[in-house]
Structure 1
Amino acid sequence: MAAPELDGPEDEGLEQGLFSHLIELRSRLMRGIVAVLVVLGALIPFANRLYTLLAEPLVSRLPSGAHLIATEVASPFVTPLKLAFYAALFIAMPVLVYQLWAFVSPGLYRNEKRLARPLLVAALLLFYLGCAFAYFLVLPAAFRFLTAVTPQGVEMMTDISHYLDFVMLMFFAFGLCFEVPVAVVILAAIGVVNLEQLRAGRRYAVVGAFTIAAFITPPDITSMIMLAIPMCLLYELGVLAVRWLIKPEGVEAT
């Protein structure tokens, strides 16, 4: 009969290593939460002004006499606070990404770090770019279309909470759609696709871009085209990034 296994120095070392990682994870999470709370505290006094700025693409295109409304008693107070929280997450995102990177980077190889750093920076910048694209270009075009097709005798008065939810959903959707180059590079890095397959799949990428755009954007052709074309261009950017960053198998660094 085999003797029972006893806890040895290796088991104790594993437990201590796991415990230290949990402590570091808690520390990183707390730093990220503190960063969000600090930004939130700074934004709360300007919550109403932030909402006015967010509502401008719709309000400036409403017919004369139309305006946003609040259908719930607490909406005029709660909705600007929700927006301030979303804005705090948006502004503090670089800190959150850095804390994530600082936690996982010690376990990566040097070549993985070399690839992960530019990908993280690019992902953050592309998400911001997608949100800005939605706010400055897509939302004005969409609201111009929606106000133009409002039936005669119907007044367009949108609830402030529903408007906030709609705009945040658009920001998130466009931010994710602008991550196409990062997704392409990751797929190539893990071996799912190679450069030749990416080049051969351009037609499928175009069809996929227009399909996604039709599903995400408001029901007007202008908004769909305004999302689909940038996604196609970003796919090409991802192909170029794969060519620059990902070496074919069997090719050694000189």
Structure 2
Amino acid sequence: MNDQDSLHQQPLTEHLAELRSCLIISLIAAAIGFTLAYSFIQPVADWFFAPLVQVMPAQKSLIFISYQEGFFFYLKLALVAGVLIASPVIFYQFWRFVAPGLYQHEKQALLPFTVVSSFCFLGGAAFGYLVIFPPTFRFLLGYSSSFLEPMPAVSEYFSLALFLLIAFGMIFELPVFMVFLAKLGKVDAPFLVKNRKYAVLIAFIVAAVVTPTPDPVNQFLMAGPLVVLYEISIIAVRFFVKKPLAVIEDAGNVR
């Protein structure tokens, strides 16, 4: 019996125990990150508000409309920052459970997947913050006038900013996801090339849905990276996936 067969025959309780271990370690890492972030919460908040403050009219500021809203905002911001700080550990635990848990001979790919996943997610969040935030909030505040005064609330800004950070972080995971699918034998480089035109169409549809503004500039700023990431996915699949795991597994079963 090969490693793959014995692995598939592991009891469900062992898989659940492994999942529990990964979750506990991830939560501990997030808690440590939360503590570190909350220790420097004011500089973190200044950094978080900067894209909106830079485009707001002079002498204007954000507001909160309930007594506890400001307090809970700082807690939520520290939690988000803590998860970002702990993201390498969280991704490591994810790949430790998903990839090696299913394919024993792929354990050597655990660290590279962790590093690349963390880099892509944080890079996507940074792209959203540095490139998307300024034109987005400039556009949204552009509707102010003498009788229409912008008074953005802390909770609304937090929700929109968090959504954009997560969206771009996940979008930038596309090459990692495609390489993982290719290793499972679900896709390959010729398949991705053949369906390139559909990928471009889907990229612009996703941009139209996710982008909070209807102007074509911001939509292109999201669709453009998606198309580029798809091309990077094709190159990554060609370079890193020499033989799908499904083929390796079939060969092992034959032996």
Q: Unaligned regions of 5+ residues in structure 1, if any?
A: 1-13
The number of aligned residues is 237
Match of 1:93 in 2: 87
Question: Helix, strand or coil: the match of 2:218?
Answer: helix
Shift of 1:241: 0.9
Alignment-mate amino acid for residue 227 of structure 1: M
Task: Pick the aligned partner of 1:221 from 195, 216, 223.
Answer: 216
Cα distance between partner residues in 1 of 2:17 and 2:238: 40
Match of 1:195 in 2: 189
Cα distance between partner residues in 1 of 2:93 and 2:199: 33
Q: Does the CA contact (< 8 Å) of 1:57 and 1:143 recur in 2?
A: yes
Q: Which has the larger radius of gyration?
A: 1
Cα distance between partner residues in 2 of 1:144 and 1:106: 46
Listed as ranges, the matches of 1:63-78 within 5 Å are 63-78=57-72
Give the TM-score of the pair, scaled to structure 1: 0.82
Question: Helix, strand or coil: the match of 1:69?
Answer: coil
Match of 1:35 in 2: 29
Q: Does the CA contact (< 8 Å) of 1:57 and 1:140 recur in 2?
A: yes
Question: Helix, strand or coil: the match of 1:60?
Answer: helix
Alignment-mate amino acid for residue 234 of structure 1: L
Listed as ranges, the matches of 1:2-41 within 5 Å are 25-41=19-35
Alignment-mate amino acid for residue 137 of structure 1: V
Distance 1:77 1:188, change over 3 A: same
Alignment-mate amino acid for residue 177 of structure 1: I
Shift of 1:45: 3.0
Is 1:171–2:165 an aligned residue pair? yes
Q: Unaligned regions of 5+ residues in structure 2, if any?
A: 1-8
Cα distance between partner residues in 1 of 2:13 and 2:181: 33
Is 1:129–2:123 an aligned residue pair? yes
Match of 2:6 in 1: none
Shift of 1:210: 1.1
Distance 1:50 1:190, change over 3 A: same
Task: Pick the aligned partner of 1:108 from 103, 107, 110.
Answer: 103
Match of 2:226 in 1: 231
Shift of 1:20: 6.1
Cα distance between partner residues in 1 of 2:46 and 2:81: 13
Tell me how large the CA RMSD over aligned residues is: 2.7
Q: Does the CA contact (< 8 Å) of 1:50 and 1:80 recur in 2?
A: no
Cα distance between partner residues in 1 of 2:79 and 2:41: 9
Shift of 1:115: 4.9
Give the TM-score of the pair, scaled to structure 2: 0.82
